[in-house]
Structure 1
Amino acid sequence: PDFDNHPGAVKSPMVGTVYLRPSPDADVFVKEGDSVNEGDTILLIEAMKTFNPIAAAKSGKVTRLLVTDSQPVEFGEPLFTIE
C-alpha cells in the first residue's frame, strides 16, 4: 500500500530517530490495534538531542506502525496510520 497518500497517515515533521517507548525499560507508547485519543503521544523523534513527542492527530485506532524503534526517519516519511 502507498502510505504516503493514506488519509490516516501521520508523517514525520522532522529528520531524526524514532523511539517507540519513553525509556529503554518502559513499555511502548502504543501497539497496532490500540485505540488512541487526539493528542496522545504515539512515539518520540529525537533530533539534535531533543526528544519531540509525536501525537495522534485524531482519535481512532492505530492500524499500522510504519517504523521500528531506533529507526532513522526523514521529513515527511509516514510514521503510523490512524483510522
Structure 2
Amino acid sequence: MVGTVYLRPSPEAKPFIEVGAHVTEGHKVLLVEAMKTFNDIVAHKTGVITAILVEDAQPVEYGQPLMVIA
C-alpha cells in the first residue's frame, strides 16, 4: 500500500468532485495520504468525471487508476 485516498477534505465536507462534474487540468480532485503527508491529486486533463474507481479512505497503490476523465 502506498497511501490512503480521500475524496473529501474532511469527513463532514462535500467531496472534491462527483461523477458528472466538469474539471479543468490542474483542478484538485482528491487527496492521497502517505506517511502522514497529504498530497493533492489534480486532474491531468480537462473533461468530465465519468467514473470514480475508489472509495473514500481506501488504500491505494502506485499506478492504480483512481477515476476516469473523458
TM class, shorter-length: over 0.9
Query: Gapped runs of 5+ residues in structure 1?
Result: 1-13
Residue by residue over 1:28-80, the C-alpha shift from the partner in whole angstroms, topping out at 9 and shown as x without a partner, is 00001100011011100000001101000011000110000000001111000
| TM-score, normalised with respect to structure 2 | 0.96
- Corresponding position of 2:27: 40
Residue in structure 1 matched with residue 65 of structure 2 by the alignment = 78
Aligned length: 70
What amino acid sits opposite 1:48 in the alignment?
A: M
User: Structure 2 unaligned runs (5+)?
Assistant: none
RMSD: 1.1
What is the CA–CA distance in structure 1 between the aligned matches of 2:60 and 2:3, rounded to whole Å?
6
Identity %: 60
- State the TM-score, normalized to the length of structure 1: 0.81
Moved over 4 A (4+): none
Give the C-alpha shift of residue 24 in structure 1: 1.1
- Partner AA of 1:31 in structure 2: E
Instruction: Quote how far apart the aligned CAs of 1:19 are.
Output: 0.2
